[in-house]
Structure 1
Amino acid sequence: MQPGPYGGPQGGWYAPPPPQKTNTAAIVAFVMSIVCALPLVPLILGIVALSQIRSRGEKGKGFAIAAIAIHGATIAIYGIVLALGLSGALDDSPAPKRDTGGQVTGSGSSKVNDLRKGDCFNTDGDLAQYEDKADSQAAFSVRVVPCDQPHEGEAYAVFDLEDGPYPGKDKVASTAEEKCGGTELSDYVGKDAKVSEKLEVYYYFPQSTTWILGDRKVTCFMGEAGGKSTGSLRATGS
């Protein structure tokens, strides 16, 4: 009898490699970018997911890249809309009518930056929400009306801040409060004028977002948070 071949056939089995796991961060980032979740979160998660995918050999690269692209585009659109809103390009309301001397003769919409000394205007109730005068930049536009019509505010001084880097909200507000509370008001209404105790001094001033667009203007105005007044407080000749 011939001996069998050395070693003989041996049995065995083959185990396929485990399937690749899809990166969780990539999926979450993609879903959040679709539903427009918290700003920048999908973008950050997408970048983190790409790093994890490379180091762990996971799937989901397409989800991560899509999340970054979608949320990046969303941020860009928001930025464009904000810039157009601040510039007034989205406001198609007619501007107020003025006579040759600049006095308002017909109501119209105006950017806060376009208010002039002596303009009377309405803020759609924003004054009633002002709890801190340092946060008085509540709107980008107002409704300017002739002063003989009911109005919430009357601008009595307008001036520009110096160019340069944004000095910070507290510094800008402090400068606005100092100048608006100086002689500008008494010069406007007259030293012997009797101003209603209900009227308060407010001011519009540049925010960090509007400073980038060239906004340097501070507008001082008197307003009555609880109602409206009729007629101008401006002294003759001021």
Structure 2
Amino acid sequence: MSIPAGWYDDGSGRRRWWDGTQWTEHFATVEAAPVPVFEPPYVAPAPQVEQFHQAHSPLVAPGYPGGPHAAASGYLAGAPVAAPAARRASALGWVALAVSLAGAVLSCIPPIFVIGLLVLLAGIVLSIIALVRPGARWPGVTGIIVSSVGALAVVTMLVSTAMISGIKELQGDTSPAPASSSGATPPGSEVIDWWELEVGDCMPSDQPYTDDSGEIVVVPCSEPHSDEVFHQYEMSQDVYPGDKATELEATETCREAFTDFVGTPFEDSELEYYGIWPNEDTWNQDDDRAVQCVVYDTDGDVVTGTLEGAAR
């Protein structure tokens, strides 16, 4: 704001001419009525501002070089202030990341996955410590992520293995059973695959092998036995007819052959029979078409010789 030119009291009681910017050397010769004392604003000489220290020059503008906010504005005497140096990762952060990666690799190897799991846990601990230490945090964060993912993968694998084992236990062990100590093969016997059975083969009731093994003990019919193969034929279908149809055909065919072999209708006989026929897997994979009919005595190994014509 500027004061217009005019006669003003300069503070000495005399009226002096103010030209709008400064006092002149002209004084009024005629006394005028008293007027209010006017003090023009103080204008600091521009050349002297740069030489005043900040503590002694309250008129220095905040953005002016050397002003109270000069450093905050990023400039000092016209030069930019250097940006702070980037934070470096601490040595512990690198160690934590390396341990986490090593644990992830070891946990993928089944024989030593437990060691890998322990290394992963150590990697998580070291990564957490690295986060609170001075320095860049990204190695610690990466270590935590790697260790967590690796540990989760190991736990998932363990749970899956346990579930599969439990399911197998519920379904039963399907592996071939070894020969029992009480089922030692008698003299003159031999072990053959069940599809090698032929008419006239005799078998003891105490078979030391399971059905899944595909092996059967055959003894001379002159030795005590219970089972005897009395009929065999080949199914004629080109395509597997299905489990039910195969079972029905084999059962009916063996029933008809039973009467001719034993000499007594099955309904009146004290003997029993069963059939051995192909399933879909053996039909397609082994080209199996053979059906064997076996007659047996329910009392066990009490038969000596053949049951042909026994009329029992």
Q: TM-score, normalised by structure 1?
A: 0.53
For residue 115 of structure 1, the aligned residue among 197, 213, 221 is 197
Which structure has more relative contact order (CA 8 Å, sep 6+)? It is 1
- Over 3 Å counting, the alpha-carbon distance change for 1:221 and 1:185 in structure 2 is same
Q: CA deviation at 1:34?
A: 7.2
Structure 1 segments, 4+ long, off by >4 Å, are: 8-15, 32-36, 38-41
Q: Which residue of 1 aligns with 2:249?
A: 175
In the superposition, relative to structure 1, how do residues 114 and 206 fare at CA in structure 2: closer, same or farther (>3 Å)? same
Q: Count matched residues.
A: 164
Q: Is the 8 A contact 1:123 1:142 kept in 2?
A: no
Verify the 8 A CA contact 2:193 2:215 in the aligned structure 1. yes
* Alignment deviations for residues 86-123 of structure 1 (CA, whole Å, 9 cap, x no partner): xxxxxxxxxxxxxxxxxxxx431222111111211125
Match of 2:235 in 1: 161
**Which protein has the larger Cα radius of gyration, Structure 1 or Structure 2?**
2
Q: Percent identity of the aligned residues?
A: 27
Secondary structure of the 1:110 match is: strand
Question: For 1:171, what is the secondary structure of its paired residue?
Answer: helix
1:72 maps to what in 2?
none
CA change 1:112–1:25 in 2 (3 A) is: farther
* TM-aligned CA deviation for residue 205 of structure 1: 1.5
With over 3 angstroms needed to count, the CA separation of the structure-2 counterparts of 1:161 and 1:123, relative to structure 1, is farther
**Take 2:265 and 2:161, find their aligned partners in 1: how far apart are those partners?**
62
Shift of 1:153: 0.5
1:37/1:231 CA distance change after superposition, 3 Å: same
* C-alpha displacement of 1:33: 7.9
> Structure 1 regions of 5+ residues with no counterpart?
42-81, 86-105, 130-136
The amino acid that maps onto 1:122 is P
How far apart are the structure 2 equivalents of 1:151 and 1:38? 39
| Mapped pair 1:187 → 2:260 | yes
Corresponding residue of 1:148? 222
Contact 1:122/1:142, CA 8 A, preserved across alignment: no
**Alpha-carbon distance in 2 for matches of 1:232, 1:167:** 33
Could you say what secondary structure the match of 2:149 adopts?
A: coil
Aligned residue number for residue 94 of structure 1: none
SS across alignment from 1:151: coil
- Within the candidate set 201, 217, 226, 2:273 is matched to 201
Alpha-carbon deviation of 1:224?
2.7
1:27 aligned residue: 154
Instruction: State the shift of 1:223 in Å.
Output: 1.4
Determine the structure 2 residue equivalent to 1:78. none
1:108 maps to a residue whose letter is E
Which consecutive unaligned segments of at least 5 residues does structure 2 have? Answer: 1-53, 55-65, 75-80, 88-134, 169-174, 177-187
| Post-superposition CA distance 1:54-95 (Å, at most 9, x none) | xxxxxxxxxxxxxxxxxxxxxxxxxxxx8xx8xxxxxxxxxx
The change in CA–CA distance for 1:205 and 1:36 in structure 2 (over 3 A counts) is farther
Give the distance between the partners of 1:28 and 1:14, measured in 2 at CA: 31
For residue 155 of structure 1, what is the amino acid of its counterpart? Answer: V
TM-score (structure 2 length as normaliser): 0.42
Matches within 5 A, 1:13-92: 16=138, 17=141, 19-20=144-145, 21-22=148-149, 26-28=153-155, 30-31=157-158, 37-38=164-165
Distance in 2 (CA, whole Å) between partners of 1:150 and 1:220 is 19
Letter in 2 for 1:27: V
Question: Within 1, Cα distance between the matches of 2:154 and 2:236?
Answer: 48
* Corresponding position: 1:221 with 2:298: no
Instruction: Say if 1:14 and 1:110 are closer, same or farther in 2 by CA, change over 3 A.
Output: closer
Output the CA distance in 1 between the equivalents of 2:166 and 2:233: 35
Give the letter aligned to residue 226 of structure 2.
Answer: E
Q: 1:181 to 1:37 in 2, by over 3 A?
A: same
Q: Secondary structure at the match of 1:201?
A: strand
Distance in 2 between residues matched to 1:14 and 1:40, nearest whole Å: 49
* 1:222-237 alignment, distance < 5 Å: 222-228=295-301, 229-235=303-309
Letter of the structure 2 residue corresponding to residue 177 of structure 1: T
